[in-house]
Structure 1
Amino acid sequence: MATTFPRQHARTHRFTLGAPRSFTVAPDGSRVVFLRSRSGSDLANLLWVRDVADGQERIAADPEALLGGAAEELSPEERARRERSREGTAGVVGYATDTSVKMAAFALSGRLFAADLLTGDSRELPTPTPVVDPRPAPDGRHVAYVTGGALRVVAATGEGDRALAEPEAETVTWGLAEFIAAEEMSRTRGYWWSPDSDRLLVARADDAPVRRWTIADPANPQAEPARVAYPAAGTENAEVTLHLLSLDGARTEVVWDRERYPYLARAHWSAAGPPLLLVQTRDQREAAYLSVDTATGATSVTHTDSDPIWLELFGGVPAWAPDGELVRIADQADQADQDADLDGGARVLMAGARRLTSAALHVRAVLDIGDDDVLFSASEGDGDGSAGRSAPGDVGVYRVPLAGGEAVRIADEDGPHVASATRGGGTLVLSTAAPARPGSRVVLLREADSARIGAIESYAETPVLATAPRLLHAGKRRIPAAVVLPTGYRESDGPLPVLMDPYGGPHGQRVVAAHNAHLTAQWFADHGFAVVTADGRGTPGHSPGWEKAVSRRLASVTLDDQVEALQALAEDFPLDLSRVGIRGWSYGGYLAALAVLRRPDVFHAAVAGAPVTDWRLYDTHYTERYCGTPQDDPEVYAESSLLTDEGLSLVDPGSPHRPMMIIHGLADDNVVVAHALRLSSALLAAGRAHEVLPLSGVTHMASGAEVAENLLLLQVGFLKRSLGVAGGSEGTQGHPLPSKGEA
């Protein structure tokens, strides 16, 4: 039987299995450590080491051998960590090394292992279980880890295991990121070693103030429901404090104004300076960069930022440069960018008071800070802070001198692409994806002259179909968009029904210059659709003003931009605007449901996967950034949500009823299933027919192969029925669609 795209897409985890990832380069540049599974359908990652000089690769840790062939067993803490990081693979899913990159520590089945990266030998260290997030000290002599909410440390020889801090109550954890930090701040860690390896900076989180929600498994009524601490908008967060814990048992609390700055967003500790913290106010409009006195725990303000809308968080910063200057990413509004709709502004790289990059680059993240320069990722702009004049979705790797000078792009190929990198000792690992070829290519470059000195092979499968997305800007706003037509489509074939396929919201860029990102769109297109993906205002990669335009008006802005992109693209592409469907997951699911409820004149069917339907039910750090609080801004929540306490929100009772399929995992602890159930109840009360597909035991990721495969098949079937596409029934029972040409 021939392999179908849905089946291949599902069992390869969207073609990511077998691809090398998570690179670490030794400080002398002699070896590269990375993760990779044995094939494009193998879930279990192995830990590999590649010698740069001779190109030889060897396995440093094989999960199957280390576990004796036994299946992995994951603790609730580890499952939660993987859910927060959207990690769906197995084996060695993460590791940490000492400074010399001679030793790595990792957890398997809740057990602690250490790998000698020079010899390739791995062994288990005897400790209490289950082990979570083990990290070696910089000197490699000890390994810290978390178990049962306690932070413990053990010698690399396996001796002297002991607790440095133990929970005082069931609600307390030491050394773990609390829910809101891991889910919304991208702070996945809860402790940091000192450069001298003699102490640790450790977060203590107490979620006692957080409301408890219940997540049940209706398919297994004999199972006890899970009680989870969920900080919904306008309610209490976990209480987070910081402490310096010495290996000799000494303990010092780190003190800052936690009443003013309750969010611990970032922590950094390197040889270039004392511990560095980034803390935020609850409304995220103010932030302070704090330097920690390790003798007393007192903090001093190094820098403060403020923004009338919100302050974004970035990867790799804040951090100290080797000369002690503060490296950060900042939003700046130049006079030329003060346009009426705030779509401009510049996102720049700073070292102290020096601006290292111009508005021609929209800085995304800092990848590494060297002795003389900074390695970072950025999108190209046109010099006015808008990353909209170059090809949409182009993300490059750059380096710029710390002393000031021109930023130079590092590339191994021409044309738009999406790249990331890491480096050490003059060796740079560059990973690149491009529209013209499937997957990613990983090459080793000599930093001095960017000469290629090797490549790391990917075992990822080649997709059974290929795509050639048209990447362009749509409408007066120049909305980044991708258009995918059926394979072999000819103009004489006539207009096509349209499938809008957005995420459309914050932190979710879908229009990217990479082949695999558009494969699912191609599969839908080959079923008879013109598939359009549009990254309207609110999505990343464009400009600060573009992202912040959704403040206090999530629904109207994101929906308006989908409509504008659709109508503008119809002038140049064969789009049948009388048959327009929309599908999405998470924020995209919210946008899909919003589209058919508030603009049924434009959208005729929707697939809403795991949608947020009432923002009062979503978490604090994310929701309050865009909507304020339900107590202070009730009108914002009423306008942005699909629901009110009385039913559907801002829906004309006389508007056409459009078919909707609602999909939700019953085990979702991020967007809980209450969102979908309340939407279904409101639709029923309004007499609006719809379909609900509950996924038993499935979380927000919905990454199981069987589920992922059949979700694609069920969605395309629903859309073909609803839009009258050949191969499906005409319309949906009880709610016929307008015939072709009718609005």
Structure 2
Amino acid sequence: MLAMALGASSLYAQQQQFTIEEATIGLSTNLAQDQLSQLNWIPNQSSLFYTVKTGVDEALITQAMPSLTTDTLIKLSAINQSLFNRSALRSFPELQWINADQLYFALENHYFKLSKQADHHWEATPWQILPEQATNATVEPSTGQFAYTVGNNLFLINAEGKEQQITHDSDAAIVNGQSVHRQEFGIDRGIFFSPKGNYLAFYRMDQRMVEDYPLINWDETPATVHFTKYPFAGRASHEVSLGVYNPKTTQTVFLQTGEPKDHYLTCVTWSPDEKSIYIALLNREQNHLWLNQYDASSGRFIKTLFEETDPKYVQPLHELHFLPGKNDEFIWWSQRDGFMHLYRYNTAGKLLNQVTKGDWLVNELVGENASKKLLYITSSKESPMEKHSYTVQWETGKLERLDQDPGTHQVAVNTAGDFMLDTWSNDSTPRSIDVFNTKKSWKKRLLTSKNPLATYQRPKIENVTLHADDGTPLYGKLIYPTAFDASKKYPVIVYLYNGPNVQLLANSFPSSGNLWYEYMAQRGYIVFTMDGRGSSNRGLKFEQATFRQLGTVEMNDQMQGVNYLKSLPFVDASRMGIHGWSFGGFMTTSFMLRKPAVFKVGVAGGPVMDWKMYEVMYTERYMDTPQENPIGYEDANLLTKTGNLKGNLLLIHGTSDSTVVWQHSIKFLKQAIKTKTQVDYFVYPGYEHNVRGYDRVHLMQKISDYFDHYLKPED
């Protein structure tokens, strides 16, 4: 009897159903995989650090390699006592190392240091307080300088602790020290300290010529308007320059980057000796790049090292990586041979050698070993569905794989390049963390996560390879209903993005990639998702196949998936739904209007409806301007096609969306009224381009209910 009861209990445990909350945010809450918090290398050491719970307290731990000797640096309770005289912190904030004996953390605008004392114990002390309105704070740890913005101007607290105002622009349309070009081209900041901290470079963005765009705050009565600058495709764009500030002289020079002024300044890189700054200057057409060198003290243009052109577009994404101990040799990232690879140049502009090559691409450059002239990279060499770690000799190009397990690997290398930290998972393996020496003669498992989904009813998931009309392989996943019966017919939900710079599918845990797919599978749906041409990690030909015709090639590829689904005897082709967000929202709406007989139901979130209303940098890269490509823009314009709708379409938009502005869906509704087309609509007040946090549960419930209403599976 006891055995029967235990068996029944085990069976019940494996039939547990996901709640909508677990399906939406569970992977970051109660269903999160085990982790070693803040795990990484201490600078210039072969020791790791991470934080651990110790009863009611938390401790910062170090672990030396390969001895695995552990030590406690400091406990959270000691920090709370010395800094606040109370338990102000419940867990360690994000820690940043200054050197092996000092690190710091920030609490809003307050900065604190943890420092190793003469007796080897660690002490917490206040470090700096920035103004309450400070944003974009950037620390230069070796000199203790802080750069930050207040409003549209840039400030510095210098090494002596004195505040210096670097810019004095009274017009709010001129912005200093912030990201520019709407964070395209890999740009994620606007402040660049020189390697030794003697100078500060910064972006200055003049937006006075860009049109104002209103964003409404509905929380106030009456509602208030905030105007932002939005550069629409084919219209006026902003003008960017790069300033260099000398804290000792308090003088600023601007680099002579020339005209036209609406070109793009990317890949900003200081030379190791602080004498020069390198900028990849890209024309607005984005088909011609110049890598230029400028004198940091005068702003004078020195020379163009080399140029890159492409009949469609060039997309620089990475700063120069100077090789260790070299002021005159660097690594340059380029897709010039069709895949993102590494090239070694000298500062005279001479190509010394192509470091990596092949029909695969480099994903990351994560470290180096100076004595052996090795770079540590991750790449898609084994499969676009996986990511693995390698060493590559920067002179000979000799490549060697380091990890052994199939899946997706995130790696970090210590300063010397003799140890690697490898965090990985695959379809069937939750997070594992290994550390090994890069000779591959020693390895230790630090963590094996338990399976947080072990007690849940999981669907069968099948990897599918289809082919585009030109023979290109397309990778997808078919997720079966959990109580699958091959004699029945099931409704289908296709989830897609299929846009530039995004890949949905990978060999990682969980195998579905999204618990909402599994939630819908538990409710009796088949779920299908596939990365078509135009998406990332497959090389330039794959990505550029959609050039000047966004939405067309992608639909052709997704139709391969639709035809495959229709060929399955257990698919009910009369009950097919489609869902996507952002570019996926554009694709969803495109299908509902341009191929209206395919899907009965669509749910489109934050969709682009007319590419003429999207931003300059992204749109003109993939579509050229509306003036140059009127047919491509008109084919993709969904505002002219509302009358084609046959199925049920739910549009969802955030009212404060400054990426795909709310006007896209508002204009769509206006056209739907004109054509007497019925559309369902829901807005999220105050939300920008997506619904984050706990409110996302509300969003996913609404989407699930909409599919249930129109595609409900048979009992």
Tell whether the structures are fold-level matches, with TM greater than 0.5: yes
5 Å-filtered alignment, 1:250-289, equals: 250-259=251-260, 262-269=263-270, 271=272, 274-289=276-291
Counterpart secondary structure, 1:165: coil
5 Å-filtered alignment, 1:350-369, equals: 350-352=343-345, 353=351, 354-369=353-368
1:136 to 133, 136, 139: 139
Does residue 477 of structure 1 match 2:472? yes
Quick one: distance in 2 between partners of 1:258 and 1:364?
33
Structure-2 residue corresponding to 1:487 = 482
Structure-2 residue corresponding to 1:629 = 625
**CA spacing shift, 1:102–1:173, aligned 2, 3 Å:** farther
What is the Cα deviation at residue 175 of structure 1? 1.7
Does residue 126 of structure 1 match 2:121? no
Quick one: distance in 2 between partners of 1:564 and 1:320?
45
What is the total number of aligned residue pairs between the two structures?
Answer: 667
What is the Cα deviation at residue 506 of structure 1? 0.7
- Work out whether residues 379 and 394 of structure 1, in 8 Å CA contact, stay in contact via their aligned partners in 2: yes
Structure-1 residue corresponding to 2:178 = 176
TM-score, L = length of structure 2: 0.84
- Work out whether residues 606 and 660 of structure 1, in 8 Å CA contact, stay in contact via their aligned partners in 2: yes
Quick one: distance in 2 between partners of 1:255 and 1:105?
37
Quick one: distance in 2 between partners of 1:207 and 1:558?
34
Structure-2 residue corresponding to 1:692 = 681
Bigger drift between 223-232 and 619-628 goes to 223-232
Quick one: distance in 1 between partners of 2:304 and 2:594?
47
Structure-1 residue corresponding to 2:243 = 243
Quick one: distance in 2 between partners of 1:117 and 1:460?
38
Quick one: distance in 1 between partners of 2:210 and 2:179?
15
> What are the Cα deviations for residues 92-135 of structure 1, in whole angstroms up to 9, with x where unaligned?
9877554x354445543344444448836252513322232333
Cα RMSD (Å) of the superposition?
A: 3.5
Does residue 303 of structure 1 match 2:293? no
What is the Cα deviation at residue 270 of structure 1? 5.2
Q: 1:123 is matched by which residue type in structure 2?
A: P
- Work out whether residues 150 and 174 of structure 1, in 8 Å CA contact, stay in contact via their aligned partners in 2: yes
Quick one: distance in 2 between partners of 1:37 and 1:467?
34
5 Å-filtered alignment, 1:37-56, equals: 50-53=62-65, 54-56=69-71
- Work out whether residues 391 and 400 of structure 2, in 8 Å CA contact, stay in contact via their aligned partners in 1: yes
1:325 to 305, 320, 329: 329
2:544 to 530, 544, 548: 548
What is the Cα deviation at residue 624 of structure 1? 0.8
What is the Cα deviation at residue 701 of structure 1? 2.8
Quick one: distance in 2 between partners of 1:554 and 1:217?
32
Quick one: distance in 1 between partners of 2:571 and 2:217?
43
**CA spacing shift, 1:566–1:402, aligned 2, 3 Å:** same
What is the Cα deviation at residue 682 of structure 1? 1.9
Quick one: distance in 2 between partners of 1:33 and 1:194?
27
Does residue 589 of structure 1 match 2:585? yes
**CA spacing shift, 1:275–1:375, aligned 2, 3 Å:** farther
Counterpart secondary structure, 1:589: helix
Quick one: distance in 1 between partners of 2:159 and 2:33?
31
Does residue 25 of structure 1 match 2:41? yes
- Work out whether residues 147 and 191 of structure 2, in 8 Å CA contact, stay in contact via their aligned partners in 1: no
1:404 to 396, 406, 431: 396
What is the Cα deviation at residue 187 of structure 1? 1.1
Does residue 6 of structure 1 match 2:20? yes
What is the Cα deviation at residue 625 of structure 1? 0.7
Q: 1:25 is matched by which residue type in structure 2?
A: W
- Work out whether residues 107 and 133 of structure 1, in 8 Å CA contact, stay in contact via their aligned partners in 2: no
What is the Cα deviation at residue 428 of structure 1? 2.4
Q: 2:402 is matched by which residue type in structure 1?
A: I
Structure-2 residue corresponding to 1:43 = none
What is the Cα deviation at residue 310 of structure 1? 0.8
- Work out whether residues 64 and 70 of structure 1, in 8 Å CA contact, stay in contact via their aligned partners in 2: yes
Q: 1:433 is matched by which residue type in structure 2?
A: S
> What are the Cα deviations for residues 632-689 of structure 1, in whole angstroms up to 9, with x where unaligned?
322221112211xxxx33x6x5x56110111111121111211122222222322222
What is the Cα deviation at residue 330 of structure 1? 2.1
5 Å-filtered alignment, 1:346-495, equals: 346-352=339-345, 353=351, 354-371=353-370, 372-380=373-381, 390=383, 393-411=385-403, 413-425=404-416, 426-438=418-430, 440-449=431-440, 451-453=442-444, 455=446, 465=456, 466=458, 469-475=461-467, 476-492=471-487, 494-495=488-489
Structure-2 residue corresponding to 1:503 = 497
- Work out whether residues 6 and 709 of structure 1, in 8 Å CA contact, stay in contact via their aligned partners in 2: yes
**CA spacing shift, 1:291–1:116, aligned 2, 3 Å:** farther
Structure-2 residue corresponding to 1:77 = none
What is the Cα deviation at residue 468 of structure 1? 5.3
Q: Which structure: larger Rg?
A: 2
> What are the Cα deviations for residues 151-190 of structure 1, in whole angstroms up to 9, with x where unaligned?
3333578x32333334343223322113x342x3331111
Quick one: distance in 2 between partners of 1:117 and 1:711?
48
- Work out whether residues 497 and 580 of structure 2, in 8 Å CA contact, stay in contact via their aligned partners in 1: yes
Bigger drift between 429-438 and 198-207 goes to 429-438
Quick one: distance in 1 between partners of 2:27 and 2:174?
35
- Work out whether residues 483 and 522 of structure 2, in 8 Å CA contact, stay in contact via their aligned partners in 1: no
Counterpart secondary structure, 1:268: strand
